[in-house]
Structure 1
Amino acid sequence: MIDRSIKTLFNNLEAKDKDVQYEAFNQMIAETEKEVDWAYEVWDQLKEWLIDKDNHRRSRGAQFLARLAISDPEKRIFNDFPALWGVTKDPKFVTARHSLQAIWRVALAGEEQKKLVLEHFADRFHNCTDEKNYTLIRFDMIQSLKKLYDKTNDEEIKEKALELIEIEEDSKYRNKYMSVWK
């Protein structure tokens, strides 16, 4: 059963007052730092937000779903990952970027989820050079891998990040990406 305070947070995310929205967003981030028992009560709503006309909802939906992957024993994230990943390519770059910066959290849910995220990061890193702001996209993925490594101390993650950095041909960006790992 969803806690009334969580319902209030969801309502406050839609408030007219931007400060109320921001506070609710930060509280949701704090709530989803750990496993919760109400994930499935908001899951479908968040999935709908991924394709909402409001870019703030798309961004929040992606960030919260990524964070709720640790509270997903049914592994729904596997069916919903394509829609979640889709927001990382949102037409509104700030929405895409916020989503991309959060998606690493899916990998905290387990080995299969980690594999899914790493495969998507590697594919995107290799194939994003036609995208606008691709160096920022690459930076966000490298930074996300560092955050994931810091949470898990999984050497496979570090190896993958360093392997991706090596394919960057421009030394300026390769150095920038490496600075994340120093």
Structure 2
Amino acid sequence: MEQSIQQVLKDLASKDKQIQYEAYQTIIEVTKEEVDWAYEVWDQLREEVTNKDAHKRSRAAQFLANLAISDPEKRIIQDFSAVWEVMKDEKFVTARHSLQAIWRVGLAGEEQREMVVNHLRERYLNCLTEKNYTLIRFDIMEGLGKLYDATKNEEIKQQALELIQDESDEKYQKKYAKVWKNR
């Protein structure tokens, strides 16, 4: 692992919130492409998805989602349930940030894509009793849209449009449909 990345990872633990944020942004940006150091941090991130600190849980889930494209061993398939649990976190902002990133796991391959789409579909269908369920549904539509944009897989679009069609509240049906309007 490059020394600069090692420093950025150390900066995540800084007491200075600005340094932490800059390190977070750097890792998110760098992991949009394949990296060769994913397994050097994987186990630590896997542990951090259950950390007492909500920020660490959120970051770990987001980083693992991004690192899925750098995971030829497909560890994300085994660890997906732990990452998924962060999206049901007691702290809504932690859950939401994780939910907004999970679509990236679907970029790692067909098996991962199917897993993500199926989980997002189930969450969409079963979140009605949750607080802020309309935001959850919106984030799911956004994630499916981003995954569709990246893969052009028509099944994703079809499933999303079916979910929107089944939305009983016309206001939210229109809101979710806007996500797909120009796709």
Q: Tell me what 2:144 maps to.
A: 145
Q: Tell me what 1:177 maps to.
A: 176
Alpha-carbon shift at residue 44 of structure 1 (Å):
0.5
Q: Percent identity?
A: 62
How does the TM-score come out when normalised to structure 1? 0.98
Give the Cα–Cα distance (whole angstroms) in 2 for the partners of residues 127 and 22 of structure 1: 33
**AA aligned opposite 1:107:** G
Runs of 4+ in 1 over 3 A off after TM superposition: none
Residue 113 (str. 1) matches residue 112 (str. 2): yes
Give the Cα–Cα distance (whole angstroms) in 2 for the partners of residues 144 and 32 of structure 1: 17
Alpha-carbon shift at residue 160 of structure 1 (Å):
1.2
**AA aligned opposite 2:74:** K
CA RMSD of aligned residues (A): 0.7
Q: Tell me what 2:36 maps to.
A: 37
Alignment of 1:62-101 (within 5 A): 62-101=61-100
Give the Cα–Cα distance (whole angstroms) in 2 for the partners of residues 61 and 106 of structure 1: 13
CA shift digits 1:66-125 (9 cap, x unpaired): 000000000001110000000000000000000000000000000000000011011111
Aligned with 1:180: secondary structure?
helix
Q: May I ask how many residue pairs the two structures share in their alignment? A: 181
**AA aligned opposite 2:93:** V
Alpha-carbon shift at residue 154 of structure 1 (Å):
1.4
**AA aligned opposite 2:100:** Q
How does the TM-score come out when normalised to structure 2? 0.97
Alpha-carbon shift at residue 33 of structure 1 (Å):
0.7
Alpha-carbon shift at residue 157 of structure 1 (Å):
1.1
